[in-house]
Structure 1
Amino acid sequence: MGRTHRSWRVGVAAVAATALAVLGAAPNALAVDTPEIVVADGVTQPVFGYSDAIRERLFIDSTFDSDGDGLRDIIAFDVMRPKATEDGLKVPVIMDASPYYTTLGRGNESELKVDLDGDGLLDKWPLWYDNYFVPRGYAVILLDMVGTGNSTGCPTTNANEDNLSAKQAINWLNGRATARNAAGEVVKADWHNGKSGMIGKSYDGSLAMATATTGVKGLTTIVPIGGPSEYYDYTRSNGVITRGNSYPSYLANIVTNPDRRDYCKPVRDQLALEDGDEHGDYTAFWNERSYVKKVKNQTASVFLVHGTNDDNVRADHFSKYWYALAEYDIPRKLWLNQTGHIDPFDFRRGEWVSTLHRWFDFWLHDIQNGIMDEPRADVERSANVFATYADWPVPGMTDTEVFFQPGTGGAGGLGLVPVAKPTTLSWQDSPTQSQNAMINNPDVPSPNKLAFLSEPLTAPLHISGTPRLKIRAAADKTSTHFGVILVDYGTDERVHHRGGNDGIITLTTEDCWGESSAVDDACYKHTQTRVWTADQELVTKGVHDAKNRQSIRNAVPLVPGQAYNYDFPLLPEDYVFKPGHRIGVIVVGSYPQYSSQADQNRANIDLALKTSRIVLPIVGGTAAAHAAGL
């Protein structure tokens, strides 16, 4: 049991005995009211203690054996709940399942789990969820994914063993599994109200999606922040390897406790053997690591957060999952921001805490606060300026074909009708061409790219959704890559998400969110959005292996000189091109800054101009494009 458990019960018993002795009453003569949450101004209030909250560490036998030692893995998790749960208070759970609690840490300040006094219970809890939500009538669980922290086994990088780790705790909360404490005593969750939510950024977010798509009963809502939803897309893109050198094995090593890395090497070796780095195609290895394909099993609502400039977990992870949620009519809400791989606590802190609080109150405490009647999507339009929309993509969006036009000098044009005469443009693939060389100086002729520029826009043009490149091209080799970049050419103040900081600056001042104990405070450093004035902005991009033109499951070599149709998506975006700016489309072969293994064939490529175009998801469709001067 928790360190405060026995002392609290003894204290209550002593007070009750004294009162009965004074009053001369029988033990059953006094009725004690069951504690309840307090709601004011539409939200739960901090009426329960933090320092005296019950803290426990529990262990569950899983249903799997990730390390092949013949024993089922044991999943460990830490629980904090209000002391009032010992007197009848029923509370829901907010869970963050993670592989990072004893290695890389969580949050902008890389907080780790810490047991200062060695009693087997946490003294320092990463992140602010415990400080804020426990006093408001929630329990918080921080769960160690299989093979990490105090759990046994070995990480498998989003395979079934990782994916099922948190499900064990959800089953225990709902009476379908047995948990024990360090002494081996069975512990029941008789304080639980039957509802649980999961939250987490990055890997933690993927574990929330993984758990939800099992359809496990009792998981009511999830809040994934920048989490991979299709692990193939985390290391591949349309057949192109974007993270090579056995990345799943590499990541499994990173998250494993250092003293277990040698032990888990055989598991990592098997990951490296099966990941398909030699071809980059989609296989059963990646199907196991897909949550998009399993959304049909899901019942939990979703509050999804993602950065459109996230180059770690790219934006197609949110979009593919979001489209699947819409297909199956899962209740959902979305925040899109212009920073990179950043938690909303560090780019929109006050609004985030307030909105998340209301979200959990609605889904876990059944408080009717109207949050589901509000606009579904918040999109950052400029630094710290958000607009709300009824849905995403923004209603009124229509996929609109914008054709490539011949030009003079280094760049062609863009227009809403194809060219009348067949025309061929040519370039040579360059596996060493930098992204800056691709984007800069679009008017200057280059042998290694094609550039197409609109005239300066006469009205704003809003895209919302997933653009696609559709081209007809022939190469003189049996293999080549294709890359495409959508660029906004025009001077503006922009979120500066380049340079490794993902668009924020961490300051020295701090503020506090929730209650603190003597060893665990609720205070975190302020951040601010990093901005700069720049003449251009990379809006979105895409890559494609020409051998995977028919399917990402099968690579078919090209016949040199034969023209093929290619159709592949760019990363999703929600972006407004301003009047006076020019839209640029850059088409290349290899894209070294997007791929880890650029094609080395240096193919000469011919593009058929008449049938080649980019499809833009324009709000207002062709009429809006005409109005903007396309």
Structure 2
Amino acid sequence: MLRRRRFFSIFTHFGAVAFAFVGSVTSGGAEPAVPVFKDGEAQVVKAFEDSDYWIRHDLWVETEFDSDDDGKPDRMHVSVTRPQQTETEGLKLPVVYVSSPYFAGTGKKGQEFFWDVRHELGATPPERKHVPGVERKGSRPIISKSHVKEWVPRGYIVVHSSSPGTGLSQGCPTVGGDNESLAPKAVVDWLCGRAHGYTTPGGDEEVVAHWCTGKVGMTGTSYNGTIPLAAATTGVEGLEAIIPVAPNTSYYHYYRSNGLIRHPFGFLGEDIDYLYDFIHSGNEARRDHCDCEVRDNQMLAGFDRVSGDYNDFWAGRDYLNDLEPLKAAVLMAHAFNDWNVVPEHSVRIYEALKAKGVPAQAFFHQGGHGGPPPMKMMNRWFTRYLHGVENDVEKDPRAWIVRENDEREKPTSYDDYPNPAASPVSFHLAAGAPQRGQLTTDPAADQGTETLVDNFSFDGASLAQAEWTKHRLIYVTPKLSKSVHLSGTPHISIRLASNKPAANLSVWLVSLPWTEGKDSKITDNIITRGWADPQNHQSITDGQPLVPGDFYDVRFDLQPDDQVIPKGQQIGLMIFSSDRDFTLWPDPGTEITVDLDATSLSLPIVGGKEAFTEAEQESAEAK
């Protein structure tokens, strides 16, 4: 007869780790529970499935930094959820690890705490009202329940941690500073037996991760997706694979664009110092110190909300600069209509990883912010790199894209992103203001100049739909007789003059006629967008005032995309100044004059110029 005993989850008290018993565990000759794999994927194991038998406990991992300057290394609050067999049967399993600044709660949201965007370009903005102190939420030992239902039953341990200066983790939040890379590194080191964990934030009673195989994967979305990349840039041993979803890979590219002060969609006026306030839920005894040293002395002194130039402050929060040590296999995930963390964040890292030779795949969809890869893709990724099962995932297609109107779980595979069959096609402008000009692959000579007048009162969608307006310039192709597949990063070169020393410059690529969707800001009509400061026409690090009336060549990329423009639509290039949803709002009246003959657009089209010309010609013949 089998003997059974009751087994409770581990829970932690300050100064002691206690065990109690809650569920039955089979002993006395029963076959031990182990992970099971089928078709290269970890399967749900019944013995791991019942959450009543999971062991949960928390601890503090000591780091190698002292970001709150209290004379002691900061300790990160960590929680663990693992199958009971890791205690009763000595089973060792790999870890899926998630870290976040949000687990313990966040500060107040609202326009009253953002920067006022209603001022002239180059002017010092009025001071911002700080968010009141964040009150920590949640109770030990559980920091978060995310990911446990997906991964624990499949033979993984799930670990969570609060990032520095949040929750019960010590230190200061830095929003992309070095400690936000070194904190998850310390947790990985602890999981692999190289760092110390303790039962309390100040004690010396140790906790050892005897149940970990030494293989760790990380994942998460948005800020939680940034931290896996941050950890991987340290090159820490044992971090074998990461799946960042919509990660913020550069805080400059989040809050600025080609020298221009630009805000994430839906958060007009937000800047990095507000995000600091928003996440700072940590130790109240050190909060004033952190506010002074990090927010006031580093952020407010370094982020330059006047010029928008790229500088050392921003370079220190750009993970593209830190990729050399990275060796973890990376499955990137992003949406092409993410106007919060725009898609270039993942594309720029993906391109660098390919050049570096790191195992990398990319999953893209057509929705908005967030959206992980299908479970099958993530399962294969972690099965290969954490369990070591040879499932040939590295031989899978490198890019997976959810096509228009397809289900998120059914992406189409491609050899790579951008589509290898895509090549740049140059488009030129033919005059038509204040109505619509033409966008054509054949340049027409002597088109002269056209002028728009800035007015932030009109949003981009209204300007794109307007038949006649002086507040934008727009140039459209003929109606397409066949669909056109764009894949890659459009590039624009504009020769322009301003009647003032500074001006916003916004560019949208749109599909016409306009059809409103459920969300007018994530409509199929917005193909992609881009923003730049003409003062930074030579360098994003050194913007210089414009000489009114002088022409300058401004060149920059729009956001990456992969989209099929359907038959019957027209592709439109819209040039305007202030983008109501993203930029500052200077007084209306700034005039931007565009030299049409010296302005061009490059679009990455699958099939190249031949494919576009065929659709264009058939459309003309149909007339």
Q: By the TM > 0.5 criterion, same fold?
A: yes
Query: For 1:177, what is the secondary structure of its paired residue?
Result: coil
Give the counterpart of 2:37 among 31, 36, 39.
39
- Give the Cα–Cα distance (whole angstroms) in 2 for the partners of residues 547 and 173 of structure 1: 49
Matched with 2:483 is: 460
Contact 2:341/2:369 (<8 A) preserved: yes
- Give the Cα–Cα distance (whole angstroms) in 2 for the partners of residues 383 and 459 of structure 1: 18
**Mapping of residues 73-222 of structure 1, within 5 Å:** 73-86=74-87, 87-104=89-106, 114-115=138-139, 120-122=140-142, 125-127=144-146, 129-182=147-200, 184-222=204-242
- Give the residue type in structure 1 aligned to 2:431: P
Instruction: Give a deviation string over 1:396-446, Cα, whole Å, max 9, x none.
Output: 1111111112247611101112222252222223343322332112x42x2
Instruction: Give a deviation string over 1:456-508, Cα, whole Å, max 9, x none.
Output: 0121111111111111112222222211110101466x863446xx7xxxxxx
Query: For 1:356, what is the secondary structure of its paired residue?
Result: helix
Matched with 1:69 is: 70
Question: 1:600 Cα deviation (Å)?
Answer: 4.4
Question: 1:252 Cα deviation (Å)?
Answer: 1.4
Cα distance change on mapping 1:457 and 1:246 into 2, 3 Å: closer
- Give the Cα–Cα distance (whole angstroms) in 2 for the partners of residues 113 and 356 of structure 1: 30
- Give the Cα–Cα distance (whole angstroms) in 2 for the partners of residues 155 and 15 of structure 1: 46
Cα distance change on mapping 1:255 and 1:281 into 2, 3 Å: same
Query: For 2:492, what is the secondary structure of its paired residue?
Result: strand
Contact 1:307/1:315 (<8 A) preserved: yes
Give the counterpart of 2:342 among 306, 309, 314.
314
Of 563-572 and 597-606, the range deviating more from structure 2: 597-606
- Give the residue type in structure 2 aligned to 1:139: I
Cα distance change on mapping 1:7 and 1:456 into 2, 3 Å: same
**Mapping of residues 20-419 of structure 1, within 5 Å:** 36-45=34-43, 46-49=45-48, 50-86=51-87, 87-104=89-106, 114-115=138-139, 120-122=140-142, 125-127=144-146, 129-182=147-200, 184-243=204-263, 247-257=271-281, 260=284, 262=288, 264-266=290-292, 267-270=294-297, 271-344=299-372, 352-385=374-407, 386-407=411-432, 410-419=435-444
- Give the Cα–Cα distance (whole angstroms) in 2 for the partners of residues 264 and 273 of structure 1: 14
Query: For 2:300, what is the secondary structure of its paired residue?
Result: helix
Instruction: Give a deviation string over 1:12-64, Cα, whole Å, max 9, x none.
Output: 8x976xxxxxxxxxxxxxx9987532224543231433322222212122122
Contact 2:476/2:572 (<8 A) preserved: yes
- Give the residue type in structure 2 aligned to 1:308: F
- Give the Cα–Cα distance (whole angstroms) in 1 for the partners of residues 249 and 288 of structure 2: 29
Q: Give me the identity figure in percent.
A: 32
Cα distance change on mapping 1:237 and 1:454 into 2, 3 Å: same
Match status 1:421 vs 2:446 = yes
Give the counterpart of 2:546 among 529, 545, 558.
558
Cα distance change on mapping 1:377 and 1:104 into 2, 3 Å: farther
- Give the Cα–Cα distance (whole angstroms) in 2 for the partners of residues 251 and 314 of structure 1: 17
Cα distance change on mapping 1:486 and 1:59 into 2, 3 Å: same
Matched with 1:515 is: none
Matched with 1:547 is: 535
Question: 1:358 Cα deviation (Å)?
Answer: 2.1
Matched with 1:615 is: 602
- Give the Cα–Cα distance (whole angstroms) in 1 for the partners of residues 533 and 434 of structure 2: 29
Structure 1 unaligned blocks of 5 or more: 17-30, 106-111, 345-350, 503-533
Matched with 2:500 is: 477
Matched with 2:470 is: 447
- Give the residue type in structure 2 aligned to 1:352: P
Question: 1:203 Cα deviation (Å)?
Answer: 0.5
Q: TM-score, length-normalised on structure 1?
A: 0.83
RMSD between superposed Cα atoms in Å: 2.8
Instruction: Give a deviation string over 1:54-105, Cα, whole Å, max 9, x none.
Output: 2221212212222222322111110122222233322111000101111059
Q: How many residues align?
A: 559
Cα distance change on mapping 1:489 and 1:245 into 2, 3 Å: closer
Contact 1:473/1:565 (<8 A) preserved: yes
Of 472-481 and 565-574, the range deviating more from structure 2: 472-481
Query: For 1:65, what is the secondary structure of its paired residue?
Result: coil
Query: For 2:346, what is the secondary structure of its paired residue?
Result: helix
Instruction: Give a deviation string over 1:133-153, Cα, whole Å, max 9, x none.
Output: 222221111011001111012
Query: For 1:365, what is the secondary structure of its paired residue?
Result: coil
- Give the Cα–Cα distance (whole angstroms) in 2 for the partners of residues 296 and 150 of structure 1: 32
